A and B are shown apart, each in its own frame.
Chain A
Amino acid sequence: MEELVVAVSGINAVDNPGPGLGVIRSLKEDQELNVKALGLAYDAMEPGIYLDWLVDKSYIMPYPSSDEEDYLARLGYIKESSGLEVVVPTLDAELPLFIKGEARLRQTGIKTFLPTWEQFELRSKQRLLELAPRLGLSIPPTEQVTSYQELLSALDRVGFPAMVKGLFYKAYRVHTYAEAEHAFQKIVEEWGYPVLVQKVVQGEEVNVVGVGDGEGGSLGHMAIKKLWITSLGKIWTGVTVKNELLLEATYKFLEQIGWRGAFELECITDGERIYLIEINPRFPAWIYFATGAGINLPARLVRAAIGANVERHSDYQAGKLYIRYTYDLVTDMTTFQKVVTKGES
C-alpha cells in the first residue's frame, strides 16, 4: 500500500496517559498499511512529540473546546502540508467536534470512523440505566438529583461510600455528607444538573475494548481484567479474560446499537453479576494490549475508515498479561524549539 497519513491525538504519555501512542504503535505494526503517523498535541511538552520512532511529525492543536472553526482550519492546514487522510481522535473532549464535523471533514478528504451523535449520547449515565438490562448487565442502584435536599435524601437511601457523578463527565467517590456536598457543587458548577448518586459496587474491574462496524457487527473485541491500578485509577497491569456474560453483552451492545467505531465498556463484577459503569466512545489508553494479544483494533478502525479489507475475528487467549512501564528519553532542545515557535515539529 502507498503511504497512508494518519493523525492521532492523545500522545500525552503521562501519569494519566492518553491512548494516542498505543494507537500509533498498533498502526505501525500493520506494515501493509504503511502508516505515516502525525501526532496532534495540545502542549509542546507532550511526550509523544519526542518519540520519533513512533510519531513522524507533530502539530500543536487549538483546544477543541475553544473554536470549532479554528480546529477544523488547523486540520485543513495539516491536510495541505502533510497529506492527512485519516484522523483517529482519542480524547473525550475532541469527540463532539469530530462527530459533528465528520461530514465537513469528509468533504475535504479527511476520513474518520466514529459513532453517530445518537450513539455518542449513550455514554450519558442516564441512558446507561436503560441500556444495561437490555445487554444482560446490571447497574448499581442510582438516583438522579437536582438539589442539595435531594442529594441528602438519595445518600440516605444509597448509603456510604457512594459515587457522585455528572451526567457525562466526572465522578467522585464520597464517604461523608460533606464530601458529597463538595462533589455535588463541583459537578454542578462545571457540568450543571442533574447529578447522579450511585451505590459503590464492590468487585473487580473488567473491561471490553472493541470496534463496531456500524451495522451491528464487531470488527474485533477483547475483554480484560485490571490487576493493578495506579492512585489515579489507571491500569498498570492487566490480564485478558474470557467472561461469556461480558462477551455476550458486547455482541448485544453492537447488535442493538449498531455501534460504529472504537468503544470501551467499563464494568465491575462481584463474581455473580456484571455492572455496567461506563461506555467510552473511544479507545482506552491500554489499547496496545489488544494489539499485543493478536487483535489490532486501531489498524482495523483505520482500514474501515478507508474502506480497505478488515479482519473481523476476536480470537485471543485468556491469560495474556499486560504490563505498563515508564521510560526515559534525553534529547536536545531542537524539537521543543520548533514546536514552540512554529507549532509543529
Chain B
Amino acid sequence: MERLSRLAISEEGFIFDPVTGNSFTTNKVGLWILTRLKEGKSPSQILAEMTEHFEVDQETAERDLTDFLEQLKNYKLI
C-alpha cells in the first residue's frame, strides 16, 4: 500500500513512481482498479464491483484482475 499510495496517477492512465522514477501507462480498466486499490479496497471487493461496473461475467473479471495484479507485482508496485 505504501508504494501504491506514493504513485502519481493521471486521468489518462499515466503512472509515475516518484521514488524510483519509473513510469507506466495503463488502460481505463487498469486505472479503475488502481484507483480502488489506492482507496484500500481488497481484490475481492474490487472483483465484486468490477462485474457490475463493466458488465462482464465473473470469470472474465477475475482473469483480468489477476493479470493486472500480477503485472503490478512484477513492477514492484504492490
Q: Which residues of A contact B (CB under 8 A)?
A: 204, 206, 224-225, 227, 238-244, 269, 271, 318-319
Which secondary structure dominates chain B's binding surface? Answer: loop
Task: Report the Cα distance A241→B23, complex, angstroms.
Answer: 11
Closest CB of chain A to B22's CB: distance in Å? 8
**Chain A CB within 8 A of B20 CB:** yes
Question: Whole-angstrom distance between the alpha carbons of A269 and B76 in the complex?
Answer: 14
- A239–B23 Cα distance when bound, in Å, is 10
In whole angstroms, what is the CA distance A319 to B22 when docked? Answer: 9
Distance of A244 Cα from B20 Cα, bound (Å): 10
Task: Contact check, B18 vs A318: say whether CB atoms are below 8 A apart.
Answer: yes
B1 within 8 A of A: no
Closest 5 CB pairs of A and B: A225-B21, A318-B18, A241-B21, A239-B21, A242-B18
Contacts of A225 in B (CB 8 A): 20-22
In the complex the two chains form, is B76's CB within 8 Å of A206's CB? no
Chain A residues closer than 8 Å to B20, beta-carbon distance? 204, 225, 241, 243, 269, 271
Q: How far is the CA of A239 from the CA of B21 in the complex (A)?
A: 6
Contact B8 A241 (CB under 8 A): no
A-B contact list, 9 entries, CB within 8 Å: A204-B20, A206-B21, A224-B21, A227-B21, A241-B18, A241-B20, A241-B21, A242-B19, A318-B19
In whole angstroms, how far apart are the Cα atoms of A73 and B76 in the complex?
Answer: 57
| CB of B7, distance to nearest CB on chain A (Å) | 11
Within 8 A of A (CB), among B21-44: 21-23
Whether B16 sits at the interface, judged by CB under 8 Å, is yes
B18–A271 CB distance below 8 A: no
B residues adjacent to A (C-beta < 8 A): 8, 16, 18-23, 76
Tell me whether B21 and A271 are in contact (CB under 8 A). no
> CB distance A319 to B19 under 8 Å?
no
Query: Quick check: B19 and A244 within 8 Å, CB to CB?
Result: yes
CB nearest to A238 among chain B residues? B21
Question: Which residue in A224, A238, A269, A319 is a CB contact (below 8 Å) of B16?
Answer: A319
Bound-state Cα–Cα, A143 to B19, Å: 31
**Docked complex Cα distance between A142 and B21 (Å):** 28
Q: How far is the CB of A244 from chain B (nearest CB, A)?
A: 7
A43 to B60 alpha-carbon distance, docked (Å):
67
Which residues of chain B come closer than 8 Å to A238, judged between CB atoms? Answer: 21
CA–CA, A241 to B18, complex, Å?
A: 5
Q: Are A319 and B18 in contact (CB under 8 A)?
A: yes
Q: Kindly identify which residue among A224, A227, A241 contacts B19, using a CB–CB cutoff of 8 Å.
A: A241
Q: From residue A316, how far is it (CB to closest CB) to chain B in Å?
A: 11
Question: Once the chains bind, are A271 and B8 in contact (CB under 8 Å)?
Answer: no
> Whole-angstrom distance between the alpha carbons of A242 and B8 in the complex?
13
Find chain B residues with CB under 8 A from A224 CB. Answer: 21
- A204 vs B21: C-alpha distance when bound (angstroms): 10
CA distance A244 to B6 in the complex (A): 12
Q: Which residue of B lies closest to A239 (CB)?
A: B21
A172 to B73 CA separation, bound complex (whole angstroms)? 34
Contacts of A241 in B (CB 8 A): 18-21
Q: Which of B8, B19, B76 has the most CB of A within 10 A?
A: B19
Q: Shortest beta-carbon distance, B15 to chain A, in Å?
A: 11
Cβ contact within 8 Å between A243 and B16 = no
